[in-house]
A and B are shown apart, each in its own frame.
Chain A
Amino acid sequence: MSAVLALLKRDLALLTPGAHGGGGRRGGTMLPLLFFLAVAMLYPFAVGPDAPLLARTGGGVIWVAALLAAILPLDRLLAPDVEQGFFDQWALRGISEELVVAVRMIAHWLSFGPPLMLATLPAAALLGIDGATLRIVELGLLAGTPGLAAIGIIIAALTVSLRSGAALSGLLVIPLAVPLLIFGAGSLSTGGEGGLALTAAISLALIAAAPFAGGAAIRAAREG
């Protein structure tokens, strides 16, 4: 248990801004958040400043922006620790790859999910989304971002030993994340209340699978 807490503390220090200077040592949480806001800003430029249209489609735009922002931090999520041999040291100490990946997934969500939900507030203002819709978007993100973190850690582990990993991860994340997007953004439409529960269900299934898929991928990368 103390190993879990120590790992979580280290991961959070690496992934979140704070003591180590702006953005955290891994290039940061700020980058995906700014990217998220930039996408939300881009959309009104593309479709025109038509307030009713923006308000109606804004929730979906926030979901797409969240999904795209989730791809950005993946190439630095595990790769530095594999390159520097941290995983080999943990394995020697009898700490399994699954455990490290599970803790990293939690730290990744903590550094990514809640800040994203905060950044949704200015994004909602940009898009002119009303309060009731904003509530469903925030609840949907609360249910969906853990699933995005789980997909992210799986893909980060799969591409950890590949030089072209950063370019690949987008192509690999998107089809896996589509069910989350469908139900998460689907909860915004009328009669889509069940979408929130389905989003949470998919997230739970992904969270359960991610440590095992990620751990196996890291071992495969080591055996090369």
Chain B
Amino acid sequence: MQTIRATWILQDGRKVEADVPLGHSLMEAAVAHNVTGIVGECGGSLACATCHVHVESTPVALQEPSAAEREMLELAVQTPTATSRLSCQIVAAAALDGIVLRVARF
């Protein structure tokens, strides 16, 4: 199975690095690697915002958020910033190898 390397920076500064299969969301991968602070209550359904991250760095620009994700970021996330994304909507693709995400408050 093809994977990319992803890193999460936890709220206490620790880092978790893992291989994420192509096609899996970064939320699913975070849960699979016990990344504290990423929950995914709605299973990636854009209903809960418990997978909120800040994109610390990415090799290529991510696809723009959908209208539904934008609504969630505006209305469901406590303190959204310009780098805020819902990680259930970030899908692992080869071009994203090396992406670094910072776990955010939801």
Q: Are the chains A and B members of one assembly?
A: no
List residues of B whose CB falls within 8 A of some A CB: none
